Amino acid sequence: MGEFRRDLYKREHDRQLAIEQLQKMQEMPWFKLLKEDVERGEVFPALRYSGEIDFYYRGALLCKYKGNLKGEPTTSRNNGPFNPENPDDYKKTKESCEEWGKKASGKANERATLSVLYGKFSPYIKPTLSMILLDIEIGFPTLCEENYKNTQVDLLFLDKNTGMLYFVEAKDAGDSRIKSMDTGNSLYELFDREEVSKQLKKYDMNLETRKNEILDAYKESLRIMSEIFGCEIYSGKLSLYKRTKLLVYGKSTENGIQSLKAIRAKLDNDLIVFENGLDMVDDLPEKITAGSFCEEP
């Protein structure tokens, strides 16, 4: 196996996030400011097993912390210093992130759009829901095969009622990767011609190949993040849903509607559609778990 830029399972994160370094981070003014926003669902922290914690605001990378005894973040999203000591400085940095989100396009625009899910499903909001957003922008190490590179899934949800982990790839309805101009001879053939079919196959290969690594990694991640933010996220047994769910949001064109029919024929309940965007997604937990069955304990 090769390495990947967001290599979540490459090494033990404790080499970078030892207890002394975490304690120092928790004492710093910048962390206390971020922690308040994390608990409001405005900032989302993501633990990277390369030894960093990434903090996202409105889809933008607000800052990242790689363990050090000074307790200082190494970079902001602009590769500059990040060490606000008062709310005014912190507010200016967040405003910069908001401006980024307004101008974002492509993948960046998708991240900004998906950030609405922070405030709805973050595990750090009280009281928490039974379905929580556990991680975002999840990268896997590269598989050996030439066709399985650059694997990065948008979202990871945890159903605390069952302990089931669900990886979810998100796409705007206008994304060309979920459309095909070739109608093919059947809906199944149409799906095979869409780029998203190859993308999901790549993700599913990772889930099958790295099941035990994924479960071990997130068991440890839950322990560390619970300790950092002083809350019990989940301590039960974890299991992994065998396929990647596809979340499509926004209005589709006529061609897009036909393509979605093809995707539905192939994925069934593993396709989740919100035609009116992501502002009203209170039933997302039910749609994620539809047709899903837990493994026996």
The predicted structure's pLDDT at residue 17: 67
Dihedral sign (CA 231, 236, 242, 246): negative
**Ramachandran quadrant class, 277 (left: phi over 0; alpha: psi -120 to 50; beta: rest):** left
DSSP 8-state code for residue 250: S
41 — pLDDT class (breaks 50, 70, 90): very high
Indicate the SS3 state at residue 53. strand
**Element containing residue 154 per DSSP (H, E):** strand 152-159
Alpha-carbon distance 24 to 241, whole Å? 37
Do 238 and 61 meet the contact criterion of CB atoms below 8 Å apart? no
- Asked if residue 93 has pLDDT above 80, the reply is yes
DSSP 8-state code for residue 293: -
Alpha-carbon distance 240 to 288, whole Å? 13
Alpha-carbon distance 169 to 199, whole Å? 9
**Ramachandran quadrant class, 86 (left: phi over 0; alpha: psi -120 to 50; beta: rest):** beta
Domain boundaries, the chain: 13-289
How deeply is 82 buried, as exposed, middle or buried, from its count of CB atoms within 10 A (0-12, 13-18, 19+)? buried
Phi and psi torsions of 267, nearest 5°: -95, -25
**Element containing residue 7 per DSSP (H, E):** none
The predicted structure's pLDDT at residue 235: 92
The pLDDT of 36-40, averaged and rounded, is 95
How many beta carbons lie within 10 A of that of residue 2, not counting itself? Answer: 10
pTM of the model: 0.88
Look-up: residue for tokens 């899934």? 153
Q: 255 pairs with which residues across the strands?
A: none
3-state helix, strand and coil shares in percent for the chain, rounded to the nearest 5: 40, 20, 40
Q: How many residues does the chain have?
A: 297
The predicted structure's pLDDT at residue 249: 93
Task: Express each pLDDT in 107-132 by its tens digit.
Answer: 778 888 999 999 999 999 988 899 99
- Asked if residue 174 has pLDDT above 70, the reply is yes
- CA 205 remoteness from chain centre: 18
- Asked if residue 21 has pLDDT above 90, the reply is no
Q: 165 pairs with which residues across the strands?
A: 158, 240
Q: 245 pairs with which residues across the strands?
A: 168
